[in-house]
Structure formats: C-alpha cells, structure tokens
C-alpha cells in the first residue's frame, strides 16, 4: 500500500459557494475579471495535486436563501473533496434582518453539504474597522456563533477571519469599504490553506501591515465624499428597490473542471 509522504493533504477538488467575498471582488485583474481568495487557493492546491478540479458558484450580492436555492444542491452533487461555504453576511446588512431565518437556512446548507464532501469549510467573515462594523457587530457575531455551532456538530473547519487583526485594517479594504483588496484576498487564501492542513507560506498572515502615516484630514473628507457618491448611495438605492449587484449574473465557474480550464 502506498502512503502519502507529501506534507500536503491529498485534496483533489474544491467547490466554493457564496457571494461577492468568494467571487473575488475587489481583486480586479487586467482583463476586468475578479480573482479573489478562492482562485488563489485553487491555484495553490492544483500546484501540489495533479488533476486538481475547481468550481466557484459564488455570485455577488447573494443572500443566504439564494445561496441555498441556487448553489447548495449543485455543489452537493459535485461530491468535491473540499467545499467552502460563506454566506449570511449580506443578510445582516439588510433592514429587515431575520436571524432565525438565516440560522435555519445556514443549517440547511451545512446539513446538505457536509455528507457530500470530504471536508466542509466555514468562515467567520472579516469586518472592516469603522462605524458600519460597530453598527452591525451584534448581528455578525450572532451569525458567527451559529457558524461555530454548526461546524462542531458536522465536523466542519472554521477559518476565523473576523478575529484576524490584519483583516480589520482599513488598508486591506477597497475604496468601496465592502470588499478586500488583492492583498486582503491573498491573506484569506493563506488562512484557508493553513486551516486545511497545508504548511504555512505566510505564518504572519493575520498580522496587520507595517504602520503608515494616516492620511490628512482633508484627504479623508474628500475620500469620504467620493465613497458616498460612488458606492454608498448606489448601495442604498439597490436596498430600497430590492435589487442586487448580482442580478442576472451567472456563477463565476459553474462546472467542476481541471484547474486551468477556462
């Protein structure tokens, strides 16, 4: 009998479910597409496992009900070695937030996915320092308590991004203040990589970047005005009209194909 002498676990496939965080916004590539932590993770896993396959069903703006209805059954049918599920955070930002409903749907998702993969991975999502985080912190922490409970019950791994100082640092968030930069996504990929049992490439991924001088007061006010005009007001408009930034968009990578296949 042959044994695996590699320091890397023998995972041959990955399916990622979720919203804009898993789709990869705002890690923008020159061709106008988004990369993100899940693509970075798949590239690393493919480099150590020949024939590695990858699917990414995430679509920006999706609520947990949409993730359950549109992604969970598809992912379960793929029978992948690793499945990552991140959802529910968009729900916490909605005025009519129903924690009981979110808990029930997240439970349904985990119960359907856990028996159909070798390893389910859940996450405590990162939160950017600032007034938005403080306003919604109780909702987020209630969601994460549910994630922890489900992980313990179903043998899932939990990646604690919420507790990582680096990922609350505003410098690792894009100008829209909702999505991580490319460096933020790199650190998330490293966190999941290590949680899956791979040897660390960056043991200090969770530490903030070196200190820099804060921007001048005038520069901050200009940036605040630009943020409100370009990002906050359109976001509020979508919430008021029931629209989503992901309406009509297909999943990022809907089929479980060998990594490198378009």
Per-position pLDDT tens, the chain of length 262: 445 667 899 999 999 999 999 999 989 999 999 999 999 999 999 999 999 999 999 999 999 999 999 999 999 999 999 999 999 999 998 888 999 999 999 999 999 999 999 999 999 999 999 888 899 999 999 999 999 999 999 999 999 999 999 999 999 999 888 999 999 999 999 999 999 999 999 999 999 987 765 665 555 554 544 544 554 455 455 555 555 566 689 999 999 999 988 8
Give the per-residue pLDDT at 83: 98
- Distance CA(88)–CA(85), nearest Å, equals 10
pLDDT of residue 26: 87
Distance, first Cα to last Cα, the chain: 36
Taking the C-alpha atoms of residue 123 and residue 151, their distance in angstroms, rounded to an integer, is 10
| Pairing of the two strands 253-258 and 53-56 | antiparallel
Label residue 127 exposed, middle or buried (CB < 10 Å: 0-12, 13-18, 19+). buried
**Which pLDDT score is estimated for 220?**
53
């Amino acid at each position: 009998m042959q044994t695996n002498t590699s320091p890397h676990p023998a995972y041959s496939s990955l399916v990622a479910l979720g919203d804009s965080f898993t789709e990869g916004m705002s890690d923008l590539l020159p061709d106008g597409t988004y990369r993100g932590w899940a693509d970075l993770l798949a590239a690393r896993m493919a480099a150590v496992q020949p024939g590695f396959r990858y699917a990414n069903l995430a679509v920006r703006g999706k609520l947990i009900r949409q993730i359950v209805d549109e992604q969970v059954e598809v992912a379960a049918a793929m029978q992948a070695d690793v499945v990552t599920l991140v959802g529910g955070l968009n729900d916490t930002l909605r005025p009519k937030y129903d924690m009981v409903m979110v808990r029930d749907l997240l439970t349904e998702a985990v119960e359907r996915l856990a028996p159909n993969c070798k390893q389910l991975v859940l996450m405590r999502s990162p939160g950017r320092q600032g007034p938005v985080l403080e306003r919604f912190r109780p909702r987020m922490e209630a969601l994460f308590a549910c994630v922890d409970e489900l992980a313990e019950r179903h043998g899932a791994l939990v990646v604690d991004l919420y507790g990582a100082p680096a990922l609350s640092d505003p410098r690792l968030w894009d100008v829209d203040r909702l999505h991580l930069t490319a460096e933020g996504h790199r650190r998330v990929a490293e966190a999941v990589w290590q949680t899956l049992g791979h040897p660390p490439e960056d043991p200090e991924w969770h530490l903030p970047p070196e200190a820099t001088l804060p921007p001048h007061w005038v520069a901050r006010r200009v940036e605040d005005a630009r943020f409100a005009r370009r990002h906050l007001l359109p976001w509020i408009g979508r919430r008021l009209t029931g629209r989503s930034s992901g309406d009509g968009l297909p999943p990022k990578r809907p089929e479980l194909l060998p990594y490198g296949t378009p």
